[in-house]
Amino acid sequence: MKRSVEPGIKWYPPNERCENRSLRAFGARGFGAVMVPDAHTVPFARSVGSKNCSTMKFFQFGEQIPGYDFRVINEREARASAGIMFLLGLMSLFSVYQLRTIFWAELFSLTFIIEFLVRVLIRPAYAPYMLLGALIVHNQAPDWVEARPKHFAWALGLGLGAVMTVYIVFDIISPVRLAICWLCLFLMYVESVFGICLGCMLYKYIHRKTYLCPGGVCETTPKRNFSRHKWLVLAAFLVLFSLTYTTLKHWKFPARPRVEVVK
């Protein structure tokens, strides 16, 4: 008997479903119904299958999840790993000023290079910081995004890591090396805190045809406008914070006169 389903929905027989959970689209669409990404359903397609649904290969970038005709990455794991690396990287830079040694900074740089080597050349699921991020968010529903933009962005990160390797091997200390460190920290910060993958946005600008970018920035759906009254509220708080700074600076922490000892 042929089963009729709505457009954009793919029917999976029982032997093709996940062992632990059934894949369902939004609402009560029937047991085993899964959203199939196309021009109309991609912005809203989500899959909540278990790891048994993916094709586990050692050398593979991204997961093959039923309901998606392209490989995907769990955005929650990517953001968690970016936050971990940002925290460790910031601590290693502070150690340079506090402990007067670059040991911890070079150690983190080497782990950063290893991380992106594994992500780009082997498989993101086996990268150390990605594994740690996956452990932290393992009880959260996955947020699948297309793997190709992430691959491009992480390849750029690997390129920055390659430049850092040259500086470490030849023990070169220069402003360029410090600038690369701060650039990597900035990229990891905006990804972990705001969910903005600048490398993914660059990939979208170059290739155009992309699906399921982080935050849905690749889709052509209208974006929410930042209303005028929100701008006014933000400006009011900026004025309030400026007054707070001025008051605190002149009342509690006034500038003390410098005392010079004349010999």
Residue 216's pLDDT is what? Answer: 67
In this structure, what DSSP letter does residue 63 have?
A: B
Kindly tell me the sign of the dihedral angle through the C-alpha atoms of 83, 144, 53, 62. Answer: negative
Give the closest residue to 194 by CA, choosing from 88, 86, 42.
Answer: 86
Q: CA-to-CA distance for 74 and 214, rounded, in angstroms?
A: 10
CB 212 within 8 A of CB 218: yes
CB 119 within 8 A of CB 150: no
Residue 203's pLDDT is what? Answer: 87
Give the closest residue to 118 by CA, choosing from 59, 178, 167, 48.
Answer: 59
Q: CA-to-CA distance for 250 and 78, rounded, in angstroms?
A: 44
CB 148 within 8 A of CB 203: yes
What is the identity of the amino acid at 219? E
Residue 64's pLDDT is what? Answer: 86
The two structure tokens encoding residue 162: 């390659």
For 10, phi and psi rounded to 5 degrees?
-110, 135
Report how far Cα 186 is from the mean position of its chain's Cα atoms. Answer: 12
Residue 223's pLDDT is what? Answer: 60
User: What's the helix, strand, coil split of the chain in %, to 5?
Assistant: 55, 5, 40
* pLDDT in single tens digits along all 263 residues of the chain: 444 444 443 444 433 444 333 333 333 333 333 444 443 344 333 333 434 444 456 677 888 888 888 889 999 999 999 999 999 999 998 998 898 888 998 899 999 999 999 999 999 989 999 999 999 999 999 999 999 999 999 999 999 989 988 888 888 888 998 899 999 999 999 999 999 999 988 888 887 677 776 666 666 555 667 788 888 999 999 999 999 999 998 887 877 766 666 66
Q: CA-to-CA distance for 232 and 9, rounded, in angstroms?
A: 44
The two structure tokens encoding residue 76: 């929650």
Residue 263's pLDDT is what? Answer: 63
Q: CA-to-CA distance for 223 and 216, rounded, in angstroms?
A: 10
Residue 67's pLDDT is what? Answer: 83
